[in-house]
Amino acid sequence: MSTTTWIHKDLIGINELSAAEILMVLDTARAFKEVGKRPVKKVPSLRGKTMVNLFVEPSTRTRSSFELAAKRLSADVLNIDKTSSSIVKGESLKDTALNLQALNTDIIVIRHSAAGAPLFLAQRLQASVVNAGDGAHEHPTQALLDAFTIRETKGRIEGLNVTILGDIMYSRVARSNILLLTKLGAHVTLSGPSTLVPRVFEQFGCRVTHNMDEAIAGADVINLLRIQHERQRKTMFPGLGEYTAMFGLTKARFAQTKPDAMIMHPGPINRGVEIDSEIADCERSVILQQVTNGLAVRMAVLFLCAGGKLSTDSSS
């Protein structure tokens, strides 16, 4: 049992959060999830605040989730993407952000292909900066919503066997999940081709195996990642057919999993590549539950970073 107070202006990564702070986000999100079940799905927590969604890389889930989260908290929202901004005319990220701050923006949510872009802004702006995914570095709200979904389904995180499969090396989702899950006491196994899952990840406290059957045996949670073609500099395996045969969650492999193993995926899914299409839609799949929970988690993050005062008693 611990009492925690939120002290962060920004959310750059899970790396900067303690276990107690992670639990505080999850507890706050649980309260906000109730708001989504009301006939009027809105609270005045961020009334008068302005949030900018600055997405310099494509997104479906994260961008729409942050926009809805801010609107449910009664904030004013501005959406800016690369193609419709002066970034295409050569304006620097810093100048774009300073101009947004000059409009009295309170929160900037940023997705960028460059690792470190959110930290760069956070160090230069008075506005809160929230990382919505930066290169292969971190995607903290994805890890928080994944943890929320695991805790909601399994009732705990500590002691669970969580297997993350696929393109670990180029995945910000994997990095944030590894940091979060090990902080909360889960046993994390990583698997995929050796070119995408190097043994160096053992230094993060994970088990690394390149044997898929070994990786899924005994897993309480299986989290599948897509191949990050946009971040790979060369082909790291012979072809997608070989990848599916060796590392995809096929029906035959699914039959070997624990009967209550959760199937997770951050999206976007490449059906028939990392996951069989029917498994993606089966009753053990929580992929759309993850999306629903993302909204509550992002409401919690915006609320806390904008100075929402809440102390919680937490235990995982």
**Interface stretch with ligand CP, choices 43-51, 89-97, 262-270, 302-310 (CB under 6 A):** 262-270
135 binds ligand CP (CB under 6 A): no
Would the CA dihedral through 278, 284, 285, 289 be positive or negative? positive
- The secondary structure element, H or E, covering residue 191 is strand 187-191
Of the pair 109, 184, the CB lying nearest ligand CP is at 109
CA atoms within 13 A on the CB side of 123: 5
Of the candidates 15, 60, 99, 277, which one interacts with ligand CP according to CB under 6 A?
60
DSSP state of 275: B
Please give, one letter per residue, the 3-state secondary structure of 235-268: CCCCCHHHHHHHHCECHHHHCCCCCCCEEECCCC
Only one residue has tokens 């999940």, namely: 177
**Spatial CB neighbours of 313, under 8 Å, sequence gap ≥ 6:** 1, 2, 3
| Smallest distance, ligand CP to C-beta of residue 288, A | 12
Of the pair 248, 294, the CB lying nearest ligand CP is at 294
Going from the C-alpha of 254 to that of each of 15, 98, 123, 147, 158, the distances in angstroms are 32, 50, 46, 22, 24
**Interface stretch with ligand CP, choices 66-74, 101-109, 177-185, 264-272 (CB under 6 A):** 264-272
Of the candidates 30, 61, 207, 210, which one interacts with ligand CP according to CB under 6 A?
61
266 binds ligand CP (CB under 6 A): yes
**Interface stretch with ligand CP, choices 90-98, 182-190, 260-268, 280-288 (CB under 6 A):** 260-268
Of the candidates 36, 135, 267, 308, which one interacts with ligand CP according to CB under 6 A?
267
176 binds ligand CP (CB under 6 A): no
Angstrom distance (rounded) from CA 137 to CA 120: 13
Of the candidates 4, 62, 131, 228, which one interacts with ligand CP according to CB under 6 A?
62
Residues that bind ligand CP (CB under 6 A): 59-62, 133, 142, 266-268
